[in-house]
Chains A and B, each alone.
Chain A
Amino acid sequence: MNLKQYFADIFNGVKSLATGMKVTGGYFLRHHKEKITEQYPDNRDTLVLAERFRGEVVMLHDENNEHACTGCTACELACPNGTIKVITKFDMTPEGKKKKAVDTFIYHLELCTMCNLCVEACPTGAISMANTFEHSVFDRSTLTKQLNKPGSKIRAGVE
């Protein structure tokens, strides 16, 4: 390596470092203008989550405390993790016939991987994914939830 090449290498090396420092320096000077990080627990009031974000499975109830779950257990069969357990009972219809209905809809949030397969499988649209995400609790047993509200019944006309 001759002397000329030696100094050219040093010059180009320093130049490449200066080019990189220009980018870093640019950010150093204008970093207060474009903030990228979000201060999560402090920005809770203004936090906007995507509406499709899958946080947990919920059962939709209307104002009359009625849901659309027929107790067909399609969601239970679709779930890959055994997250859902539907306990069914038999209701008597006014005509005196036996009709299958949901007694307890048990949902294990601690086993759920939010894959959305149960919601896809539901033929009546009774369950959906809510975009809540703060599920930390002190006791694991509180993560096992009953999704149908106490005293709720199936909406008329849902088969």
Chain B
Amino acid sequence: MYRETDIIQTIPGTDEMVINVGPQHPSTHGVLHLVLTINGEIVKKVEPHIGYIHRSIEKMCESLTYRQFIYSTSRMDYLAAHTNNHACAMCVEQGMGIEVPLRAQYIRVLMDELTRIASHCLWWGSIAMDCGAVTPFFLAFREREMINSIMEETCGARLTMNYNVPGGVMADIHPTFQQSVKDFVRHFRSKIDEYDELVTGNIIFQSRLKGVGKLSKEDAISYGCTGPTARASGVSCDVRKHFPYEIYNQIDFTEITHTAGDSYARYLMRLAEMRESMSIIEQLIDNIPEGDYLAKTKAVLKLPKGEFYSRVETPRGELGVYIVSEGGTTPYRIKFRSPGFSNLSALDHMTRGHKIGDLVAIMGTLDLVIPDIDR
């Protein structure tokens, strides 16, 4: 007989057994609890259990006003707090019919792309760590630190920025912002080639990722995957391209897709996205128009009765914010469609038949942030 509390349970009559990975496990990048059914080293089934970091942010938002609820979404996807805040601010603006000044739009897009690079930097360090290399983690954090300093300088916080407010951004950019962003891009252009030399070409790393965790185009669509995870399988799903918000329709950038759909394609995907983000930043940084950074809004925001939806492309995929308003100062219901949740649901399909070590690598290429999955 086996008990629920046993760490390892054997299934009578078969060679299979059930083990728990997490919730406190260093390779799950947070408090994700995976229940694995394994036969020796081979993974037969993966059941993600979530709920260990549930803070009921959606319910909490129902008691906060339309200005206040934006700050709490920084705590969902904490590596890309700016894009979360952006989606919420855009949804409120859409409901109120607020016109965002052009300068604020430029600043928002610049910050989004900086956030994307910072998030992918951390991901690059952690995927290498998941595959057994420790050095890349320190190199990635060196570059991420520069972005954090830029954020600290302009937004006033390093991680939970809360820089977007309905109508624009909270404060104008710091006088040294443009120079420090240019310095960063110049620095990062040379360092990203170093990333390729150190990890991308590495034979051990390649054999860990190539042909592992395949996700076909059809499966990526049916599991609702978005972001780099889906684009590596050949699904063209970039919100910035298909449903342009702010000034993305005026920017010249390409949506990168791969067709292989394996872990290595997802890896190359994100590295290419970092380069693409840099080119977006270079296009915008010298052309920030003069003007207001914040539109004039009423002191108390009241959304008209109805339903509002806005979406942005976060580093992990499509984040949707759905607000149901009854006409009051607080939302009646808020729903977040977070990218990590759908991407995680494909994990079982991708991992079946692979080894336990590959599970960690596949999970690394999905770029999971658990508080984003489990709000």
The chain A residues found within 8 Å of chain B, CB to CB, are: 12-14, 16-17, 19-20, 22-24, 36, 50, 52-54, 78-80, 113-117, 120, 129
- Complex Cα distance A54/B156, Å? 5
- Complex Cα distance A45/B86, Å? 37
The residues of A that contact B24 with a CB separation of less than 8 Å are: none
- Complex Cα distance A112/B336, Å? 24
The residues of B that contact A14 with a CB separation of less than 8 Å are: 203
- Complex Cα distance A53/B149, Å? 10
Quick check: B67 and A78 within 8 Å, CB to CB?
A: yes
The residues of B that contact A36 with a CB separation of less than 8 Å are: 142, 145
Quick check: A120 and B170 within 8 Å, CB to CB?
A: yes
Can you list 16 A-B pairs with a CB-CB distance of less than 8 A? A16-B203, A16-B206, A17-B204, A20-B202, A50-B153, A50-B174, A52-B156, A53-B152, A54-B157, A80-B64, A80-B71, A114-B156, A114-B157, A116-B156, A117-B71, A129-B156
Contacting residue for A13 out of B135, B157, B203, CB 8 A: B203
On whether A23 and B203 interact (CB within 8 A), knowing A54-B157, A78-B67, A116-B156, the answer reads no
Contacting residue for B197 out of A22, A52, A116, CB 8 A: A22
Quick check: A20 and B68 within 8 Å, CB to CB?
A: no
The residues of A that contact B174 with a CB separation of less than 8 Å are: 50, 52
- Complex Cα distance A66/B72, Å? 34
Quick check: B198 and A24 within 8 Å, CB to CB?
A: yes
Q: Which of A13, A19, A23 has the most CB of B within 10 A?
A: A23
Quick check: A53 and B157 within 8 Å, CB to CB?
A: yes
Quick check: A52 and B154 within 8 Å, CB to CB?
A: yes
Across the A-B interface, the 7 shortest Cβ-Cβ residue pairs: A13-B203, A80-B68, A115-B71, A52-B156, A54-B156, A50-B152, A16-B201
On whether A20 and B197 interact (CB within 8 A), knowing A52-B171, A117-B71, the answer reads yes
Distance from A134 Cβ to chain B, minimum over Cβ atoms (Å): 16
Please name the residue on chain A nearest to B163 by beta carbon. Answer: A116
Distance from A99 Cβ to chain B, minimum over Cβ atoms (Å): 22
Q: Does B92 contact A (CB under 8 A)?
A: no
The residues of B that contact A117 with a CB separation of less than 8 Å are: 67-68, 71, 162
Report the interface size class on chain B. Answer: 20 to 34
Quick check: A113 and B68 within 8 Å, CB to CB?
A: no
The chain B residues found within 8 Å of chain A, CB to CB, are: 64, 67-69, 71-72, 135, 142, 145, 149, 152-157, 160, 162, 165, 170-171, 174, 194, 197-199, 201-204, 206
Please name the residue on chain A nearest to B176 by beta carbon. Answer: A50
Q: Which of A13, A22, A50 has the most CB of B within 10 A?
A: A50
- Complex Cα distance A62/B199, Å? 57
- Complex Cα distance A19/B72, Å? 44
The residues of B that contact A12 with a CB separation of less than 8 Å are: 203
Distance from A81 Cβ to chain B, minimum over Cβ atoms (Å): 9
Please name the residue on chain B nearest to A19 by beta carbon. Answer: B197
Distance from B81 Cβ to chain A, minimum over Cβ atoms (Å): 11
Q: A12-B203, A50-B153, A52-B152 are in contact. List 4 more A-B contacts (CB 8 A).
A: A20-B197, A22-B197, A80-B71, A117-B71
Distance from A70 Cβ to chain B, minimum over Cβ atoms (Å): 15
On whether A23 and B197 interact (CB within 8 A), knowing A50-B156, A53-B152, the answer reads yes
The residues of A that contact B171 with a CB separation of less than 8 Å are: 52
Quick check: A17 and B157 within 8 Å, CB to CB?
A: no
- Complex Cα distance A13/B157, Å? 44
Quick check: A116 and B160 within 8 Å, CB to CB?
A: no
- Complex Cα distance A79/B204, Å? 52
Quick check: B198 and A23 within 8 Å, CB to CB?
A: yes
The residues of B that contact A80 with a CB separation of less than 8 Å are: 64, 68-69, 71-72
Q: Which of A12, A20, A22, A52 has the most CB of B within 10 A?
A: A20
On whether A52 and B155 interact (CB within 8 A), knowing A23-B198, A80-B72, A117-B68, the answer reads yes
- Complex Cα distance A120/B162, Å? 12
Contacting residue for A113 out of B69, B71, B199, CB 8 A: B71
- Complex Cα distance A120/B65, Å? 15
Distance from A98 Cβ to chain B, minimum over Cβ atoms (Å): 25
Please name the residue on chain B nearest to A38 by beta carbon. Answer: B145
Quick check: B64 and A20 within 8 Å, CB to CB?
A: no
Distance from B338 Cβ to chain A, minimum over Cβ atoms (Å): 20
On whether A24 and B135 interact (CB within 8 A), knowing A50-B156, A78-B68, A113-B71, the answer reads yes
The residues of A that contact B170 with a CB separation of less than 8 Å are: 116, 120
